[in-house]
Amino acid sequence: MKFIIGIDEAGRGPLAGPVSVGCFGAEQKMESWLLKNIFENKLRDSKKLSPKKREEIYEKFLLLKKERKIFFEVSHISNKIIDKKGISEAVRMGIKKSISEQKCLEVRLDGLLKAPEEFKNQKTIIKGDEKDVFIACASIVAKVCRDRLVCKLARKYPDYCFEIHKGYGTLLHRTLIKKYGLCAFHRKTFCKNLTVFQK
């Protein structure tokens, strides 16, 4: 059985935490069903959905996966790898890790993402999470899984309120970095130019 696979990432820009690459696949005949029953015929970028709505959709995906109507997985590439190899290489690693074993008819990727060269039938779609249902689904699973992971790690680093800002460079987060310094969860290469550190 071959699938259409959508790929998107979450967490490219935060000051802390992993970048997470979502891979979502289903048979082509599922496309119209997903559009109607999951998105009510209106695709939206996962970031424009409320956290509650994303969680509701994710729970539906878990049931569909259990019924083997879809598959999905998310690869988390750590902040340490991001610091060592850079964010673009980290995203490429996540893509390769996510789809290396999947049999696919076509790979559709958001933005400027690209799959490994062995996937001959691939196309990149600008704002794909608003135009393609498989990419939109991948966007949701990436975002939900990353948020859950960051919230879990927030318990290990309670001073930084990761459960609130998810590692992004909000005023709260930058203020807490100024107060406490960096923890092992931060991307040092992303934080080195923060104005809070400038004398």
Residue 199 banded pLDDT, cuts 50, 70, 90:
very low
Determine the average pLDDT of the residues in 134-139: 96
Determine the average pLDDT of the residues in 85-113: 90
Stretch (H or E) spanning 75: strand 70-77
pLDDT at 138 over 90: yes
pLDDT (tens digit, 9 = 90+) per residue, 13-50?
999 999 999 999 999 999 999 999 999 988 877 788 89
Q: Where are the domains of the chain?
A: 3-193
Instruction: Name which residue leads in pLDDT, 100 or 139.
Output: 139
CA gap 142, 165 in Å, rounded: 16
Q: Looking at the domain 3-193, which fold is it?
A: Nucleotidyltransferase; domain 5 (3.30.420)
When the pLDDT of each residue in the chain is averaged and rounded to a whole number, the result is 92
Q: Give the model's pLDDT for residue 72.
A: 95
Determine the average pLDDT of the residues in 161-174: 96
Q: Give the model's pLDDT for residue 198.
A: 43
Determine the average pLDDT of the residues in 68-72: 95
pLDDT at 194 over 80: no
Q: Give the model's pLDDT for residue 101.
A: 64
| Percent share of the chain, pLDDT over 70 | 96
pLDDT at 195 over 60: no
Helices (H), the chain: 30-37, 51-66, 79-85, 87-99, 133-154, 162-165, 171-180, 188-191
Q: Give the model's pLDDT for residue 100.
A: 67
What are the angstrom distances between the C-alpha of 68 and each of 30, 32, 122? 12, 17, 24
First to last CA, the chain: 59
